């Protein structure tokens, strides 16, 4: 049964959402240094004191924006992880979710790196820091669950002395590193990377083939699988 929030709580959430919407636009147009509590207070209909009641500083706003995006990423991972019965196809669906997430939140990687710097992280609240860590952990759990399903289904055998989390970390490192570069560098064509997304997908498949995760890319066209996922899950986007 759906519970209706008290009026004051609804109003509080509405005010917070308006502040974050304005801050997101400000960050997109002016960057981190252009984001300030004074500017937000000057441009929004609330008093400066009201803004500070919701967020004690701009670092807290930055982390709240990152958490909003991460919460969306968790939802996208959860949906992708149930897309197909065969484990490696489901992992391909998660890869498509990552691509879609980057498309929706192109500034996320820069923001996520910013909030992790000591000068910003230590100025934020413990609750928001824990929420970010929870979202990250949930994404890793989802991907790890697919790996463990592959092991249970005999589609994958981990090398002796290694666990599912080793493979999860490899995929995470490859994905995060590649998308950070892709969203922050405009010189990739100059070094011969004309289709970075296709290159990343190729490297995903080489990694998973190296682990022997079946069906191998020589047995199944994962480019076609990716296109099918994008059509079914993200055509409206």
Report pLDDT for 237: 64
Mean pLDDT of 167-196: 93
Query: Looking at the predicted structure, is the pLDDT value of residue 157 above 90?
Result: yes
Alpha helices in the chain (DSSP H): 7-34, 37-43, 48-54, 58-81, 87-104, 108-116, 118-121, 126-152, 164-184, 196-210, 222-234
Report pLDDT for 59: 95
pTM (two decimals): 0.89
Q: Which residue has the tokens 């196809």?
A: 89
Quote the CA–CA distance of 161 and 159 in Å, as a whole number.
6
Quote the CA–CA distance of 66 and 129 in Å, as a whole number.
10
For residue range 213-229, list pLDDT tens digits in order. 999 999 999 999 999 99
For residue range 112-140, list pLDDT tens digits in order. 888 989 999 999 999 999 999 999 999 99
Quote the CA–CA distance of 127 and 137 in Å, as a whole number.
15
Mean pLDDT of 73-87: 93
Contacts of 45 (CB under 8 A, 6+ apart): 18
Report pLDDT for 86: 93
| Homologous superfamily assigned to 59-234 | Tetracycline Repressor, domain 2 (1.10.357.10)
Q: Does residue 225 contact residue 89 with C-beta atoms inside 8 Å?
A: yes
Mean pLDDT of 68-90: 94
Mean pLDDT of 171-195: 92
Report pLDDT for 164: 96
**Torsion-angle region of 189 (φ positive above 0: left; ψ -120 to 50: alpha; else: beta):** alpha
Q: Does residue 121 contact residue 129 with C-beta atoms inside 8 Å?
A: yes
Domain boundaries, the chain: 1-55, 59-234
Q: Nearest 5°: phi and psi at 8?
A: -65, -35
For residue range 22-67, list pLDDT tens digits in order. 999 999 899 888 999 999 999 998 889 999 999 999 999 999 999 9
Q: Nearest 5°: phi and psi at 225?
A: -60, -45
Quote the CA–CA distance of 16 and 61 in Å, as a whole number.
10
188-206 CB burial, b ≥16 within 10 A, e <16 = eeeeebeeeeeebbeebbe
Q: Does the domain at residues 1-55 carry the CATH identifier 3.40.1000?
A: no
Report pLDDT for 217: 97
């Amino acid at each position: 049964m759906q519970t209706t929030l008290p009026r004051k709580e609804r109003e509080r959430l509405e005010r917070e959402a308006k502040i974050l919407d304005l801050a997101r636009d400000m960050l997109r147009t002016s960057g981190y240094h252009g984001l300030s509590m004074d500017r937000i207070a000057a441009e929004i209909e609330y008093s400066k004191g009201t803004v500070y009641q919701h967020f004690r500083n701009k670092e807290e706003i930055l982390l709240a924006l990152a958490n909003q995006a991460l919460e969306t990423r968790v939802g996208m991972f959860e949906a992708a992880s149930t897309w197909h019965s065969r484990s490696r196809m489901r992992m391909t669906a998660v890869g498509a979710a990552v691509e879609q997430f980057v498309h929706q939140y192109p500034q996320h990687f820069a923001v996520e790196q910013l909030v992790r710097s000591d000068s910003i992280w230590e100025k934020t609240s413990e609750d928001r820091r824990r929420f970010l860590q929870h979202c990250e952990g949930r994404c890793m759990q989802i991907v790890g669950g697919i790996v463990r399903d592959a092991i249970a289904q005999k589609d994958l055998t981990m090398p002796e002395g290694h666990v599912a989390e080793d493979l999860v970390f490899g995929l995470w490192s490859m994905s995060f590193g590649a998308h950070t570069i892709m969203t922050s560098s405009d010189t990739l064509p100059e070094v011969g990377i004309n289709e970075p997304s296709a290159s990343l997908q190729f490297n995903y498949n080489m990694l998973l083939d190296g682990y022997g995760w079946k069906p191998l890319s020589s047995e199944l066209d994962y480019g076609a699988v990716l296109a099918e996922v994008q059509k079914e899950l993200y055509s409206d986007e």
